[in-house]
Structure 1
Amino acid sequence: MDSTRVCFQLQVKPELIPEYTRRHAAIWPDMAQALKDTGWNNYSLFLRPDGLLIGYFETPSLEAAQAGMAATEVNARWQAEMSEFFVDLDGAPDTGFFQLTEVFHLEDQLPR
């Protein structure tokens, strides 16, 4: 099945960057498993020193991945704890992010 590449942006409050980083150094094992089980593949977060957070993952369906996580108990706990870290968040972090538009992908332009 084909995957969609999803890239998103959030803004972490600068004063909370050390704690945000600490919490992501080893996320809860049940959260990691839930992400994997619901299609959040090759998931990475990148953080700039001013708090700009860029996330990337691959999934067969963004809507299904978000719905799958919404149905888990661990996600409710995680999102409640993480929401305090973000500036101008519209909803939970896993649904309130600003999705970026992909404009280039090398493999799409290479001869097959």
Structure 2
Amino acid sequence: MQRVCFLLKVRQDRVEEYRRRHAAVWPEMQEALSRTGWHNYSLFLREDGLLVGYLETEDFDRARELMAATVVNARWQREMAHFFEQLDGSAPDAAMRPLTEVFHLA
């Protein structure tokens, strides 16, 4: 099982709306994430907009590929794209760059 951690930056003027949106993630989005291999998925958001994501999956590249093929993800990505800084035209999922794990206490 891969443990994946990534960082993104939410625009500071959108932090509260981002929190509200994630307090009510669409049920079909949650189902798609589970079905495509995103497990134990958490997002942590600092007041300045720093977003830390964590998930566990068998194969992160495959999980992203499967999720990208869903209609609900395309809708979600379109709605979420304007919340982030420095996406360079990418969808938020495409901007996820996993951090290198340097320590894990099992």
Same fold, TM-score > 0.5, yes or no:
yes
- Taking the aligned partners of 1:67 and 1:98, their CA distance within structure 2 comes to 14
Q: How far off its partner does 1:71 sit?
A: 0.8
Residue matched to 2:97: 98
> TM-score normalised to the size of structure 1?
0.91
Bigger radius of gyration: 1
Residue identity opposite 1:94 in structure 2 = D
Give the letter aligned to residue 85 of structure 1. Answer: F
Q: Shift in Å at residue 106 of structure 1?
A: 0.4
* TM-score w.r.t. length of structure 2: 0.96
Q: Distance in 1 between matches of 2:32 and 2:38?
A: 9
- Gaps of at least 5 residues in structure 1 are 108-112
The count of residues paired between Structure 1 and Structure 2 equals 105
Structure 1 match to 2:76: 78
RMSD: 0.7
Letter in 1 for 2:82: E
Per mean C-alpha deviation after superposition, the further-off stretch among 56-65 and 90-99 is 90-99
Matched-pair contact (CA < 8 Å) for 1:13–1:51: yes
The 5 A counterparts of 1:5-16 are: 5-16=3-14
Q: Identity rate of aligned residues, in percent?
A: 60
Deviation at 1:97, TM superposition (A): 2.0
Partner of 1:33: 31
Shift of 1:98: 2.8
Mapped to 2, the partners of 1:92 and 1:28 lie a distance apart of 18
Alpha-carbon distance between aligned partners in 2 of 1:30 and 1:86, rounded to the nearest angstrom: 23
Asked if the contact 1:9/1:55 (under 8 Å) is kept, the reply is yes
| CA–CA separation in structure 2 for the residues paired with 1:42 and 1:26 | 17
Alignment deviations for residues 12-31 of structure 1 (CA, whole Å, 9 cap, x no partner): 00000010000000100000
- Which consecutive unaligned segments of at least 5 residues does structure 2 have? none
**Alpha-carbon offset, residue 69 of structure 1:** 0.5
